[in-house]
Amino acid sequence: MRAAFRRFEVPMSREDRGPLAGRRIVWGFGGGIAAYKACHALRLAVHDGAKVHAAMTAAATRFVGPLTVQALTGAPVLTEVLEPSQEAQYGHLDLARGSDLLVLAPATADLIARVRAGMGNDAVSTTALAVRCPVLVAPAMNVAMWENSLVQENVEALRRTGRFHFVGPASGLLADGDVGPGRLAEPEEILEAIRRLLSPKDLQGLKIVVTAGPTREHLDPVRFLSNPSTGRMGYAVAEAARRRGAEVVLLTGPTELPPPEGVKLVRIVSAEELLHAALEHANDADVFVAAAAVADQRPAVRLDQKAKKQAGEESVVLERTPDVLKTFSERVEGRKQRPILVGFAAETEKVEEHARGKLAAKRLDLVVANDVGEAESGFGTTTNRVVLVAPDKVERLPLMPKTAVADAILDRVAALRAARGA
């Protein structure tokens, strides 16, 4: 029964079709200053496509008003399990019955203790008792409280049930001035933990190698040819594959993105280095996703010292860089267990036509093509509008966050493997 969720559906915009699209989350607020930070994490989950409903302890409402949380979720907030008007809206167990995940954030020492003891004397603990779904706990408290043996005993007891999962706490300066573990995990960390718990594990046991970011082809120690790629698309694919159970190796050019958790990171600079890394790390891969924006040319001569200005006309002779994906495709051609090969095509015109040409020329299973001239679909954006081109099928996806595009690509990869009988 999902009566509470059906009653208060929140329509999704085109930007909200993220990895959590359609998932139903109950967010339980404990009473602490970190409730303000938890609101940011909740908003990220809503933006990611989740339908979120919230419950708050009485103490939590003294830090963040229920109207604030209602504005973020688009649904009334449960604060009293026996208050007549709220009982008419929800029924005090409706949230529990309709949930895919319960998030307790911030989870104070008191809330953790009451959940561990099986108490149900407020909106949050009652919901925690009644849910049958997984529970994600994000502790937030003073360092002395977190390190107290009684709190640690409660945490370990919840872990042992197999249904309670923890994210954080982080270490650092606390609101009361102490320093140490006890800070609520960062909102992005909480979001990633939610995604991980709610993602299908359909890629379990597979090795997936992903390339990402730009390459740099140096003229001298301070100048190079490159492109504006930030690596976001490739990193999103790597993170999504890891969430879905795969062993992931990420071959990355220079980017400013933080390394994804649980992913083996191999840093490269040039196309030549990327080729060597691909041949080494993807030789036994089940899937090879070539999302890197590889520079097609490099200076024919690389100078050991910085080139100085010269009088008169100057020119640089260029040569082609190795075609990483084509070389790898040729290397694995004819294998009985040939990996699924996914290429990317960043185009400025005739997107689908060029993608089909790349698909055939490099013997690929799938090409992800986009028009980098579009304002919301080019380099450096958080969204993308792509066309998935396979030998027998073309799928045009709407504008979506790159995190959602990553899952759409992996959905197609899983379907290709199933078609092979793998």
* For the chain, domain boundaries: 3-198, 207-303+312-420
Q: What is the pTM of this model?
A: 0.79
Q: Are 233 and 195 in contact (CB under 8 A)?
A: no
Q: What is the pLDDT of residue 335?
A: 82
Measured between alpha carbons, how far is 234 from 211 in angstroms, rounded to an integer?
A: 6
Measured between alpha carbons, how far is 231 from 241 in angstroms, rounded to an integer?
A: 16
Tell me whether the CATH fold assigned to 3-198 matches the one assigned to 207-303+312-420. yes
Take residue 339 and report the two structure tokens written for it: 């990996």
Measured between alpha carbons, how far is 388 from 409 in angstroms, rounded to an integer?
A: 8
Q: Phi/psi of residue 115, each to 5°?
A: -65, -45
Q: What is the pLDDT of residue 108?
A: 95
Q: Is 227 in the active site? A: yes
Three-class secondary structure of residue 198 per DSSP? helix
Rounded average pLDDT per 10-residue block, the chain, 422 residues: 47 56 92 93 92 93 93 89 67 77 95 92 90 94 92 94 91 78 91 90 94 93 89 94 95 93 94 95 94 92 83 81 93 86 88 88 93 78 89 89 91 90 67
Take residue 306 and report the two structure tokens written for it: 């910085």
Q: Domain spanning 207-303+312-420: which superfamily?
A: CoaB-like (3.40.50.10300)
- Which of the listed CATH numbers 1.10.3720.10, 3.30.160.100, 3.40.50.1950, 3.40.50.20 matches domain 3-198? 3.40.50.1950
For strand 223-225 and strand 217-220, is the pairing parallel, antiparallel, or unpaired? antiparallel
Q: What is the pLDDT of residue 90?
A: 62
For the annotated binding site for CTP, the residues are: 296, 306, 322-325, 344, 358, 362
CB atoms under 10 Å from CB of 288, counted, come to 28
Q: What is the pLDDT of residue 93?
A: 74
Q: What is the pLDDT of residue 16?
A: 46
User: Which entry of 142, 148, 227, 370 is annotated as an active-site residue?
Assistant: 227
For the annotated binding site, the residues are: 296, 306, 322-325, 344, 358, 362
Measured between alpha carbons, how far is 181 from 28 in angstroms, rounded to an integer?
A: 21
CB neighbour class for 363 (10 Å; exposed up to 12, middle 13-18, buried from 19):
middle
